[in-house]
């Protein structure tokens, strides 16, 4: 009799233990990837709650054979368009081809791009990001999974583990929980580090000026002779080179050469520079360009192979305007607001020279861009949301595009 009871109790205890173990695995998975899910919502609009729920389910909270072999967190199969690494895994059929990634970050980004770039999922992005039930049912309707209970599984995970909070954090509607640590997420992987408490917050008389720390751009070594930038023919010419000589060498009229390079009448180059042999593009080589110290609008146009008129139009600039170092210029689409100019920063330095501010060695002026939230801005500068609110005397968590925020840094 006792043996019979024991045989009944032991499996029950094992079941409860396994369930507790699985719950711990889920919490661990959430803590590891919530920052990445928030970042992807900010980048593409895929709700962080949905992404985490899918990741938990598809990977068995990071423990599945597929994710351990391939870093594939969302069960995305190869399809015909996939040219990356592959692994083979039994799923709906034996030995199916699945995408393989170098790290989890690449998987999270590819999942966002997969949804964003596929016409059959496009209707999901018309939903409110907070409508996680609409997203869950929409994913099943669009054919993301064959499991008839897929939607209910995602919804239950979101409800049970309060995953909706991470969607709201990304939207700037909720402050991050205290246990959320500052993280640095890059395409090379995800590295987590505890944010330090920072210097004393006691007010002191400010004597420093407002500065924007701009990481120096890597030096570019251009090849000799003709090459291309953004599919546009170009050469790198030394100071003292005759433009007429370049025009004759490449069988181009001097007038057209000047036009291609946004130049007026010039005989000889006064400094080393790129000289384009055909008209530059209406969009730049990159999506954005961070202004470097001493860099002019003309320098940016040449480096990015973009026409000056396009650069001015995208960024609400006039030709005489000079963006301040550290400002982000748009090269493909129109910016939500114009960049800060050098004169504005200089004026701000004067205005704040007698302010009472925290004992930080420097301060940045940050202009709020589309989709930015207090959380994303605070994370970018390695400070807390509450510090940003206090420094800028903000009552809530809502921001407006084009709003200027002061951010103090070490």
Is residue 206 pLDDT above 50, yes or no? no
Tell me what the mean pLDDT of segment 279-300 comes to: 88
The domain segmentation of the chain, as residue ranges, is: 30-192, 204-210+352-409, 227-330
pLDDT band at residue 179, thresholds of 50, 70 and 90? low
Most confident of 7-11, 152-156, 209-213, 266-270: 152-156
The reply to whether 204-210+352-409 shares the fold of 30-192 is no
DSSP secondary-structure letter at 195? P
Point out which residues pair with 366 in neighbouring strands.
Answer: 405
Which of 64, 109, 121 shows the shortest CA–CA distance to 87? 64
Whether residue 21 is predicted with pLDDT greater than 60 in this model: the reply is: no
- Assign 18 to helix, strand or coil: helix
pLDDT tens digits for 293-321? 778 898 899 999 999 999 999 999 988 78
Give 261-265 contacts, CB < 8 A, sequence gap 24+. Answer: 261/302, 262/298, 262/301, 262/307, 262/308
**Across 40-49, 171-180, 198-207, which has the greatest mean pLDDT?**
40-49
Taking the domain 30-192, which CATH number applies?
1.10.530.10
Query: Residue 378 has which token pair?
Result: 């605070």
Residue 345's pLDDT is 65
| Least confidently predicted of 62-71, 78-87, 95-104 | 78-87
Average pLDDT of the chain is 79
What are the backbone angles phi and psi of residue 185, rounded to the nearest 5°?
Answer: -115, 130
Interatomic CA distance for residues 237 and 239, integer angstroms: 7
Least confident of 70-84, 356-370, 393-407: 356-370
Contact call for residues 378 and 384 (beta carbons, < 8 A)? yes
Helix (H) or strand (E) holding 98: strand 96-99
Give the distance from CA 362 to its chain's centroid. 24
| DSSP single-letter state for residue 42 | H
Question: What residues pair up with 86 in beta bridges, in sequence order?
Answer: 99
- Provide CATH code, domain 204-210+352-409: 3.10.350.10
What digits encode the pLDDT tens for the residues 375-384?
A: 888 878 888 7
| Domain 227-330: CATH superfamily, name plus number | LysM domain (3.10.350.10)
């Amino acid at each position: 009799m006792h043996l019979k009871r024991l045989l009944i109790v032991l499996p029950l205890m094992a079941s409860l233990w396994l369930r507790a173990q699985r719950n711990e695995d889920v919490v661990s998975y959430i803590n590891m990837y919530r920052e990445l899910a928030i970042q992807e919502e900010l980048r593409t609009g895929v709700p962080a709650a949905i992404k985490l729920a899918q990741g938990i389910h598809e990977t068995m909270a990071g423990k599945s054979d597929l994710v351990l072999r391939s870093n594939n967190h969302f069960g995305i199969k190869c399809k015909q368009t996939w040219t990356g690494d592959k692994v083979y895994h039994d799923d709906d059929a034996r030995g199916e081809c699945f995408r393989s990634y170098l790290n989890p970050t690449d998987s999270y980004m590819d999942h966002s791009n997969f949804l964003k770039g596929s016409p059959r999922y496009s209707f999901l992005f018309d939903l409110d990001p907070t409508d996680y039930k609409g997203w869950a049912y929409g994913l099943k309707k669009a054919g993301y999974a064959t499991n008839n209970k897929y939607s209910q599984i995602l919804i239950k995970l979101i409800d049970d583990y309060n995953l909706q909070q991470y969607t709201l954090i990304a939207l700037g509607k909720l402050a991050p929980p205290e246990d959320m640590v500052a993280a640095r997420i890059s395409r090379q992987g995800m590295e987590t580090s505890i944010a330090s408490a920072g210097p004393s917050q006691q007010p002191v008389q400010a004597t420093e000026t407002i500065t924007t720390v701009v990481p120096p751009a890597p030096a570019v070594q251009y090849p000799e002779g003709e090459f291309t930038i953004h599919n546009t023919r170009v050469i790198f010419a030394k100071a003292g080179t005759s433009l007429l000589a370049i025009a004759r060498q490449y069988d181009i009229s001097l007038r057209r050469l000047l036009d291609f390079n946004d130049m007026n009448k010039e005989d000889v180059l006064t400094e080393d520079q790129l000289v384009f042999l055909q008209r530059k593009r209406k969009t730049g080589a990159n999506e954005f360009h961070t202004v470097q110290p001493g860099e002019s609008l003309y320098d940016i146009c040449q480096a990015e192979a973009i026409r000056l008129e396009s650069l001015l139009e995208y960024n609400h600039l006039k030709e005489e305007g000079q963006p301040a170092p550290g400002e982000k210029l748009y090269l493909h689409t129109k910016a939500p607001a114009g960049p800060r100019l050098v004169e504005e920063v200089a004026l701000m330095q004067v205005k704040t020279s007698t302010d009472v501010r925290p004992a930080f060695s420097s301060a940045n002026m940050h202009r709020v861009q589309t989709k930015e939230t207090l959380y994303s801005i605070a994370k970018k500068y390695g400070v807390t949301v509450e510090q940003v609110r206090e420094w800028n005397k903000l009552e809530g968590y809502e921001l407006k595009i084009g709003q200027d925020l002061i951010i103090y840094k070490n």
